[in-house]
């Protein structure tokens, strides 16, 4: 029977309302790095906001990548577990290897405008069924032997990122 | 063009594909759509709200510098080893060494590609080594920073170069510039010979759109060494601080 293999994406938005120590470190350090790196694309000091830089300064979209180095160490400190996403018994369980950092908004003169996101893309999971708002998934395929499963609720900023239907004999 | 291809390869390879047995099945398959089984959609007890975390606290984050902050920026890129010694001088202090300046450098790899991922899509990437050949150091009391890297390759339209961005201790930009390399017989550029590319179509400093106005050669570093023992680059860059 066919089985569907999916990956999830959790877009964790971090801004001036950050509360946890991890979020505050990501917020502060990504802003500091943004202010440093933005100067390369703002050599005449004409622009304030990230949106202005994107619109007027060629290459400024590289700032997503350039600023991401400020959060690399913090992503590594998560030990490969997607934050915030809990299974139905309240445990973090979703593993990731890939992520993408993005600057949503920022302003070199106003830190409160700084808003970033880290998009965590999960390792592949087998999707067996949907029970209301809960997805029944497992890391291992169901080959006729017992597999351990997780139930994960659908929630804001959490989506199915990719899907692949595979035949299992 | 080469950079575009490189970006494309990054994008294509970014998300690891699930590894599955994909041999064809001989028997007839019963097609069952996940999510359509009887009973789904009713009585799950969860309607958009989620349970609070119920587990031991941690891990506890620790303040960490940007991943640029290292002396060895090679990140597994292959090429002839090069030690870059850059001294930052202060024009406002008779060009004496400027301590505690932040120095960023970045350059391309042997093939002429920079570490970058781009595009507007939602492609994710593994966080290992994505910032290769980019580094940051803080100058010592003599204004010196030292990086370990590889001799840069070249790409169409530009002479061999290293980008440098100098900041003061609080991160305010003091200077954005580039380091050029000596050319001609006996030079490191000639010895490396563009790695596998050769130097056919190479843009020399005199035709380079950044370095061609530097007739005095103040942007050209001193480069010693050879391909078997590695190269050592040295230059002093003076900024107003």
Q: Residues of B with CB below 8 A from A75's CB?
A: 127
Q: Residues of A with CB below 8 A from B134's CB?
A: 69
Quote the number of domains for chain A. 1
SS3 A117: strand
Q: How confident is the model at residue B121, as a pLDDT?
A: 42
What φ, ψ does residue A134 adopt, rounded to 5°?
A: -105, 135
Average pLDDT over residues B195-222: 94
CA distance A12 to A26: 11
Residue of B41, B66, B125 to mutate for A, most A C-beta atoms under 10 A? B66
How long is chain B? Answer: 241
All structural domains of chain B with their residue ranges: 66-239
- pLDDT level of residue B45 (50, 70, 90 thresholds): very low
Of A4, A99, A153, the CB nearest to B124: A99
Strand-pair category, A2-14 with A158-167 = antiparallel
What's the 3-state SS for chain B? CHHHHHHHHHHHCCCCCCCCCCCCCCCCCCCCCCCCCCCCCCCCCCCCCCCCCCCCCCCCCCCCCCCCECCECCCCCCCCEEEEEEEEEEHHHCCEECCCCEEEEECCCCCCCCCCCCCCCCCCEECCCCCCCEEEEECCCCCEEEEEEECCCCCCCCCCEEEEEEECCCCCEEEEEEEECCCCCCCHHHHHCCHHHCCCCCCCHHHCCCCCCCCCCCCECEEEEECCCEEEEEEEEEECC
Average pLDDT over residues B150-162: 96
Q: Quick check: B118 pLDDT over 70? A: no
Q: Residues of A with CB below 8 A from B11's CB?
A: none
- pLDDT level of residue B73 (50, 70, 90 thresholds): very high
| 8 Å CB contact of A32 and B68 | no
Among the residue ranges A140-154, B12-26, B71-85, B171-185, the one predicted with the least confidence is B12-26
| 8 Å CB contact of A2 and B125 | no
Q: Residues of A with CB below 8 A from B24's CB?
A: 167
Residue of A60, A132, A141 to mutate for B, most B C-beta atoms under 10 A? A132
Residues β-bridged to residue A160: A8
Q: Residues of A with CB below 8 A from B124's CB?
A: 9, 98-100, 119-121
Q: Residues of B with CB below 8 A from A69's CB?
A: 66-68, 131, 134
CATH number, span B66-239: 2.60.130.10
**Chain B contacts in chain A segment 69-98 (CB below 8 A):** 69-70, 72-79, 86, 88-92, 97-98
The reply to whether the predicted model has a pTM over 0.80 is yes
Q: Quick check: B2 pLDDT over 60? A: no
Average pLDDT over residues A59-69: 94
Residue of B53, B61, B65, B175 to mutate for A, most A C-beta atoms under 10 A? B61
* CA-based nearest residue in chain A for residue B14: A98
- If you average pLDDT over each of A25-29, B46-50, B127-131, which comes out highest? A25-29
Minimum distance, in Å, between the CA of residue A138 and any CA atom of chain B: 13
Q: Quick check: B33 pLDDT over 60? A: no
Q: Quick check: B30 pLDDT over 90? A: no
- pLDDT level of residue B54 (50, 70, 90 thresholds): confident
Q: Quick check: B119 pLDDT over 70? A: no
**Structural domain containing residue A90:** 2-167
Q: Residues of A with CB below 8 A from B30's CB?
A: 1
- A138 at B interface, C-beta within 8 A: no
| 8 Å CB contact of A69 and B41 | no
Q: How confident is the model at residue A168, as a pLDDT?
A: 65
Minimum distance, in Å, between the CA of residue A2 and any CA atom of chain B: 7
- pLDDT level of residue A152 (50, 70, 90 thresholds): very high
| 8 Å CB contact of A154 and B167 | no
Of A2, A33, A68, the CB nearest to B31: A2
Q: How confident is the model at residue A3, as a pLDDT?
A: 81
Other C-beta atoms lying within 10 Å of the C-beta of residue A33: 22
Q: Residues of B with CB below 8 A from A34's CB?
A: none
Minimum distance, in Å, between the CA of residue B169 and any CA atom of chain A: 11
| 8 Å CB contact of B122 and A161 | yes
| pLDDT > 90 fraction of chain A, expressed in percent and rounded | 93
């Amino acid at each position: 029977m066919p089985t569907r293999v999916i990956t999830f994406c959790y877009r964790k938005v971090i801004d001036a309302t950050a509360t946890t120590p991890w979020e505050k470190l990501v917020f502060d350090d990504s802003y500091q790095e943004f202010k440093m790196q933005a100067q390369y694309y703002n050599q005449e000091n004409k622009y304030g906001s990230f949106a202005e830089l994107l619109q007027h300064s060629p290459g400024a979209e590289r700032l997503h990548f350039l600023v991401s180095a400020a959060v690399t160490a913090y992503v590594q400190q998560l030990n490969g577990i997607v934050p915030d996403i809990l299974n139905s018994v309240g445990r973090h369980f979703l593993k990731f290897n890939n992520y993408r950092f993005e600057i949503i908004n920022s302003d070199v003169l106003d830190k409160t405008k700084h808003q970033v996101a880290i998009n965590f893309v999960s390792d592949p999971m087998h999707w067996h069924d949907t029970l209301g708002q809960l997805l029944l998934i497992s890391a291992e395929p169901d080959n006729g032997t017992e597999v351990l499963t997780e139930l994960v609720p659908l929630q804001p900023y959490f989506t199915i990122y990719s899907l692949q239907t595979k035949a299992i004999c | 063009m080469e950079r575009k291809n490189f970006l494309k390869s990054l994008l294509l390879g970014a998300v690891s594909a699930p590894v599955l047995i994909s041999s064809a099945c001989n028997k007839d398959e019963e097609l069952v759509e996940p999510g359509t089984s009887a009973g789904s959609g009713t009585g799950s007890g969860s309607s958009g709200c989620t349970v609070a975390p119920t587990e031991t606290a941690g891990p506890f984050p620790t303040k960490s510098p940007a991943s640029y902050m290292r002396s060895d920026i090679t990140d597994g890129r292959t090429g002839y080893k090069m030690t870059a010694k850059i001294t930052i001088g202060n024009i406002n202090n008779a060009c004496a060494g400027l301590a505690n300046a932040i120095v960023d450098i970045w350059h391309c790899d042997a093939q002429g590609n920079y570490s970058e991922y781009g595009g507007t899509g939602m492609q994710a990437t593994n966080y290992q080594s994505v910032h290769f050949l980019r580094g940051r150091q803080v100058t010592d009391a003599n204004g010196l920073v030292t990086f370990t890297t590889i001799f840069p390759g070249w790409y169409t339209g530009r002479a061999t170069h290293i980008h440098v961005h100098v900041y003061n201790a609080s991160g305010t930009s003091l200077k954005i510039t580039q380091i050029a390399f000596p050319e001609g017989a006996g030079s490191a550029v000639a010895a490396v010979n563009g790695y596998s590319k050769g130097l056919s179509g190479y843009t020399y400093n005199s035709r380079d759109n950044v370095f061609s106005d530097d007739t005095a050669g103040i942007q050209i570093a001193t480069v010693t060494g050879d391909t078997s023992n590695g190269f050592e680059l040295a230059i002093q860059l003076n900024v107003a601080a």
